[in-house]
Amino acid sequence: MLFRYAGDTIWYERDTTVRRSIYRGDTIVQATFVGGRVRSGWTMVVIGDSAVTLSTTDSLGSSHATRSAIPARMALADREMIAMEIRVNASRARVASLLSARPRATDVPIAPRDPVSYCVDASLSIRQHVDTVQYIRTVSGKAVDTTTYVFTSDTSIKRLSPSPREFGYAMANTVMGEMHMSLVRKNLDARAVPVTPALPGRSYSLGCAGR
């Protein structure tokens, strides 16, 4: 289902069916097309809470005078739908603007220009720089294994080394999820209040201190 509009004209499309509605003051001229051919049409005028049909047109193009009424809300449905979508999209844009202006501490940055490090556990960390992500495994503080990925789109990722391979949404989402959870843990650790000075913070149990 697709709605398009230009000025006083609205097109509603579904599969091969298209309904065109033209709104001019209190007059509505509608036509339905199937496979590009006119199937029917009608002209209505809105009077109060009703829409009175003045004439109809059949698939042969013949016009017939008539006099019937339907609720105005039904006749104005396409225009109301467009207005609602415009309001919803405007609201989403405002929310997105606010979120981008005030990013949360747990938001994973998109293509950061400066490298960002994430602690997964005591022996594994992630390094993110622009569209490249490296999984770095360490033993006694020394890197012993590195796997490099590059995001090729919002829903796909490619392993560069070792063993190059393309992955889809599931893998891309997993990588983003591990970076996000690292930020969540870091944020929780920053807010945690130790019960006694003798109890180490959660970050020490993960081996992430100083990272």
Q: Are 54 and 44 in contact (CB under 8 A)?
A: yes
Q: What was the pLDDT predicted at 203?
A: 47
The answer, as to whether pTM is greater than 0.85, is no
Q: What is the pLDDT of residue 176?
A: 93
Alpha helices by DSSP H, the chain: 72-75, 77-101, 169-191, 202-206
Give the model confidence (pLDDT) of 142-185 as tens digits.
888 999 999 999 889 999 999 999 999 999 999 999 999 999 98
- Going from the C-alpha of 52 to that of each of 26, 40, 88, 167, the distances in angstroms are 11, 17, 30, 58
Domain ranges within the chain, ordered by starting residue: 2-101, 116-206
Give residue 33's pLDDT. 92
Per-residue pLDDT of the chain (211 residues; tens, 9 = 90+): 787 888 889 988 888 899 999 999 999 999 999 988 888 999 999 999 999 999 998 888 788 888 889 999 988 888 888 888 888 888 888 877 766 666 677 888 889 999 999 999 989 999 999 999 999 999 887 888 999 999 999 889 999 999 999 999 999 999 999 999 999 988 888 877 665 555 455 544 455 555 5
Tokens representing 129 are: 């720089």
| pLDDT of 168 | 92
Q: Assign 3-state DSSP to the chain and report helix, strand, coil percentages, each to 5.
A: 25, 45, 25
